[in-house]
Amino acid sequence: MVTVEICLEDIESAVAAQQGGANRIELCDNLTVGGTTPSIGMISQVRKQLEIELQVIIRPRGGDFCYSDLEFSVMKEDIEAAKSVGADGIVTGLLNPDGTADVQRTDVLVQVADPIPVTFHRAFDHAKDPFDTLESLVDIGVSRILSSGKAPSAIKGLLLLGQLQETARDRISIMAGGGINNENVQLIINQAQIREIHAGSSCTQRQDKKTCNQSADVIIDHQNTNNGYSQVLAKLVSQLVAAVRETKDI
């Protein structure tokens, strides 16, 4: 069976993902910068609404994946906080300036997260050597790697995803992410022999309707003047899940 994970940033989207048949969600804030740690209130309330697995990203800011000692302290406390309100897993990723995985501090985070699993997110796709990085993550007990195969999308990174899956040999799970939708997911699963997929934008639709009075003269977000936002829809998740379920078992 292939696991379907939906990446999202609000509680209504979390409920919709569950209604659409997702197996798991990754809860983030600030997806416009690739995701940052959500508030403890958001994590707690989403946990109360869901029966499916809840993964929480631990990322103190956007930008690169090389963190200061102060930022690392924040990450450790955020893991403890997420665990305290029922997170089923942690998603994080740390690199050194030379492009290698920051194994030492990732190991610390794995220990802080214990007994819940840790996923190394797409910081992996910025690492210099994917195979060395994979082995390093296996050694410290990381449970899962999220990757597009070091390409703009999973469909373009199929060759490497397949090689990573073969190299992993069930020691660590390889989860494909990046541009996955109901039209390409079967190809990705079959060609790379992937057992976990991660989707986000393909399951969202922009909500532009105004729900409260807004002054045209007051602009808070200059990149989003109509205050619209993207939200996961259950019907779009259902379409993705249906495509996955129709895939030949691997």
State the CB neighbour count (10 A cutoff) for residue 42: 19
- Retrieve residue 176's tokens: 């494909």
Residue 216: is its pLDDT beyond 90?
Answer: no
Task: Tell me the pairing of strands 173-177 and 204-207.
Answer: unpaired
3-209+216-245: CATH topology is TIM Barrel (3.20.20)
Going by pLDDT thresholds of 50, 70 and 90, the confidence category of residue 213 is: low
C-alpha atoms less than 13 angstroms from C-alpha of 54 in its C-beta half-sphere: 26
Q: Quick check: 236 and 203 in contact, CB under 8 A?
A: yes
On average, the pLDDT of the chain sits at: 94
Q: Can you give the pTM of this predicted structure?
A: 0.92
Domain ranges of the chain: 3-209+216-245
Block residue for tokens 């205050």 = 227
Going by pLDDT thresholds of 50, 70 and 90, the confidence category of residue 164 is: very high
Going by pLDDT thresholds of 50, 70 and 90, the confidence category of residue 207 is: confident
Q: Taking residues 37-64, report their average pLDDT.
A: 98
Percentage of the chain modeled with pLDDT above 70: 91
Separation of CA 4 from chain center? 11
| Per-residue model confidence (pLDDT) at position 211 | 60
